[in-house]
Amino acid sequence: MRNILAIFKKEFKIYFDTPVAYVIFGIFSLISGYFFLQIFSYFQRQSLQFLQYQAPQMLEHMNLNDMVMRPLFLNINVFFLLMIPVITMRLIADEKRLKTYELLMTTPVSTWQIVIGKYLASLSVILAMVLIVFIYPILLSFFGSEGGLSTGSIEWMPLITSGLGLFLAGAAFAALGIFASSLTESQIISAIVAFGLLLLFWVIGWASAGAEGVLKEVLRYLSILEHLDQFTKGLIEIKDVIYYFSVIFFGLFLTQQSVSSQRWR
């Protein structure tokens, strides 16, 4: 446990003492802010339209949770797919490049401890990103109800499940990312491999459109972006949670195997 903490602290320091984390947060805020602005102004235009056409039954569907926050989370999920390989790319690859790998492998630390410590550090960055997303509903809760629209109130429970879901999705991406990082000493290759893996896990779901029966379900289930949907509706479904945890375990297991097998080559 102490070793995991030591590795975690070191990685955390490198993320937060160097500009890395802040650049990531900056870009992430910029892009997610843009998403938010676009989705929100679309929502606003639609609400006004419905108001003009006196369509109260349509207006009932217009609430901030479903029409703003949900699409925001789903979009950010896709954006995570691009960002997380960048967060995880240096974790193991850079140790190899700097030859500090030899230090880690010749001190009494197990490969599991190294992998877990590093992984947890990347989760801290992802957690911070999820928290950044919560700036938007907080803004909405202050300013969303202005103008007397009955639609302007926020329900927090679905947002919390969405946040949890997004974090789990990020954690699953990071587990594949750290695996990619363990394969090479080049950060660029690491990022590209992680990106490829994640993309593959996404597009595998597309095949379900042409498939039938069990295969269709399996392909859908494998798709990595599929599983946030229920979370954003405020539902925590066990199958989604199991999915994320399996990907995390799978990724970390492969990483551990890859790190310890390096000694044998």
Partner 1 sequence: MIEVKGLTKFYKQIRAIEDVSFTVEKGDIVGFLGPNGAGKTTTMKIITGFMPPDSGTAKVAGFDVFENPMEVKRRIGYLPENPPLYNDMTVNDYLRFVAEIKGIESKKIGEETDRVSESCGIKEVRKRLIAHLSKGFRQRVGIAQAILGNPEIVIFDEPTIGLDPNQVFEVRSLIKELAREKTIILSTHILPEVEMTCRKVIVIHKGHIVAKEHIEDLLRRRTKISEMTVRVKRFSIELMKQIKDRFDVKVNQPPEMDNGFNIIFESPEDKREEIAKYIVDSGFGLLEFRPVTLSLEDVFRELTTEEKTA
Residue in the block written with tokens 């950044």: 132
Q: How far apart are CA 70 and CA 76, in angstroms?
A: 10
| Token pair of 14 as six digits | 């490198």
> How many residues touch partner 1 (CB under 8 A)?
26
Rule CB under 8 A: say whether 23 interacts with partner 1: no
**Nearest by Cα to 69 from 133, 143, 150:** 133
Site for partner 1 contains 102 (CB under 8 A): yes
Residues 6+ apart with CB under 8 A from 54: none
Least CB distance to partner 1 at residue 6 (A):
4
Q: Mask 175-214, x = binds partner 1 (CB under 8 A)?
A: ----------------------------------------
- Among residues 52, 54, 57, 99, which is the contact residue for partner 1, using CB under 8 A? 99
104 is a site residue for partner 1 (CB under 8 A): yes
DSSP 65: I
The reply on whether position 1 binds partner 1 by CB under 8 A is no
| CA 24, chain centre distance (Å) | 13
Least distance between partner 1 and beta carbon 105 (Å): 5
Binders of partner 1 among residues 125 to 184 (CB under 8 A) are: none
Instruction: Tell me whether residue 172 or residue 178 sits nearer to partner 1 (CB atom).
Output: 178
Is residue 217 a contact residue for partner 1 (CB under 8 A)?
no
The label of the residue with tokens 């390989």 reads 85
Interface residues with partner 1 (CB under 8 A)? 2-3, 5-7, 9-10, 13-14, 17-18, 98-110, 263-264
